[in-house]
Amino acid sequence: MATTLQPPPIAKVPFGVRRLKQYDSEAPSTGVWVGLAAITMTFAAFTSAMVVREGSANDWRHFAFPTILYFNTLALIASSFTLQVARKRFASLDTSATGAAPTLRALYGTLVLGCAFVIGQYAAWQQLRSEGLYLSSAPSSSFFYVFTVLHALHVIGGLCGLLYVISKLHRAVLRRNTLSAASHYWHFMDVLWIYLLLLLWIRI
C-alpha cells in the first residue's frame, strides 16, 4: 500500500545539500581544500624523506642560505596582505562607486609580488650554483632544491589562478567563492613556504 509523500520527509537540511543552489561556486572552494590536503601530504612525505636521509649517513652538509631568500619571504607575506585587501574590496564592490579598479589594483599587486618571489627564488638558486652547490652536491642541497623548486612550481600554479581570477573580474563574472578559493590556495603557499624555510633553516 502506498501513498504520496507531501512534503519530502527530510527533517533538516543536511550538510552539503544547503549548498546545492550555489554549487557552481562552492565546488572550487571544496576542491582547493581537498587539493591542499594532497599537497600537505606530498610535502610531509618529502619532510620524512629528508629526516630519514639525514640520519642514514654522515654526509649531511650545512651551508648558509642566500640572503635573498629572506626578501623573497617578505614579498610572499606581503602578497598575502594585498590579496586580502583585494578580497575586502571585492566584498564591497556592490556599494563601491569606483567599480572593480581598486580590487584589480590589489590583485595586480599580488601578482607582481608573487612574480617577484619566483624570480627571487631563481636568483637564490643561481647564487648557490655560483658557490658550487648543485642538486647533487650533497643530500642537504638536494633537498633544498627539491623543496624550493617544487614550492615555486606550486606558486606558479597560484599565479595562473590569480590570472584566471583577474580575467574573470575583467569580464565582470567573478564569483566571491572563486576568489576565496584562489586566496586560500595562495595563503597556503605562504604558510607552506614559512614552514619550509624554518625546516630548511633548522636542518641545513
Partner 1 sequence: MSEVSAHAAHHAPPQGFIRKNVFSLDHKVIGKQYYGLGLLAVLIGMVLSWAMRIHLVWPNAAIPLLGKIVPTGAPGGVITPEYYLQLMTMHGTLMVFFVLTNVPFAGFGNYFLPIQIGAEDMAFPRFNMMSFWVTFVGFCVLVAAFFVGDGPALSGWTAYAPLSALPSAGPGQATGQTLWAVSIAIFCIGQLLGSLNFITTTLDLRAKGMTLMRMPICTWAWFITSCIGLLAFAVLLPACILLILDRLAGTSFFVPSNLVVSDQLITQHSGGSPLLWQHLFWFFGHPEVYIAILPAAGIVSHILITSYRRPLLSHKVVIYCMMAIGFLSYMVWGHHMFLSGMNPFSALVFSFPTLVITIPATILTLIWIGSLYGSNLQVNSASLFALGFVSMFVTGGISGFFLAQPSIDVYLHGTYFVVGHFHMVMGVAAIFGMFAGTYFWAPKMFGHMMNETLGKIHFWGTFVGTYCIFMPFHYLGLVGNVRRYSAFVDDYLAPLMPVHKFITFAALFTGAVQLIFLFNLIYSRFKGKPAPDNPWHATSLEWSVPSPPPWNNFGGRHPVVYHDPYQYGIEGSTGDYVMQDSPEQIQTVRDDKKLP
Give the burial class of 202: count Cβ atoms within 10 A of its Cβ; 0-12 exposed, 13-18 middle, 19 or more buried. Answer: exposed
Quick check: 34 binds partner 1 (CB under 8 A)?
A: yes
Size of the site for partner 1 (CB under 8 A): 46
Quick check: 1 binds partner 1 (CB under 8 A)?
A: yes
Quick check: 172 binds partner 1 (CB under 8 A)?
A: no
Give me the residue label for grid cell 586560500: 184
Cell representation of residue 44: 610531509
CB 111, CB 163: distance < 8 Å: yes
Quick check: 105 binds partner 1 (CB under 8 A)?
A: no
Instruction: State how far the alpha carbon of 23 is from the alpha carbons of 28, 30, 64, 124, 181, in Å.
Output: 9, 10, 49, 42, 13
Candidates 18-26, 80-88, 122-130, 154-162; binding stretch for partner 1 (CB under 8 A): 18-26
Quick check: 196 binds partner 1 (CB under 8 A)?
A: no
Binding mask 117-136 for partner 1 (x = CB under 8 A): ------------------xx
Answer for which of 6, 64, 95, 130 binds partner 1 (CB under 8 A) is 6
Quick check: 180 binds partner 1 (CB under 8 A)?
A: no
Nearer CB in complex with partner 1: 51/194: 51
Q: What is the DSSP code (8-state) at residue 39?
A: H
Residue 163 and residue 181: Cα distance in Å, rounded? 13
Answer for which of 24, 99, 101, 126 binds partner 1 (CB under 8 A) is 24
Nearer CB in complex with partner 1: 58/130: 58
Quick check: 16 binds partner 1 (CB under 8 A)?
A: yes
Candidates 16-24, 75-83, 85-93, 105-113; binding stretch for partner 1 (CB under 8 A): 16-24
Nearest to 100 by CA among 90, 87, 85: 90
Quick check: 52 binds partner 1 (CB under 8 A)?
A: yes
Nearer CB in complex with partner 1: 35/102: 35
- For the stretch 168-173, contacts whose Cβ atoms lie closer than 8 Å and that sit 24 or more positions apart, written own/partner, are 169/90, 169/100, 169/103, 169/104, 169/107, 170/100, 170/104, 172/100
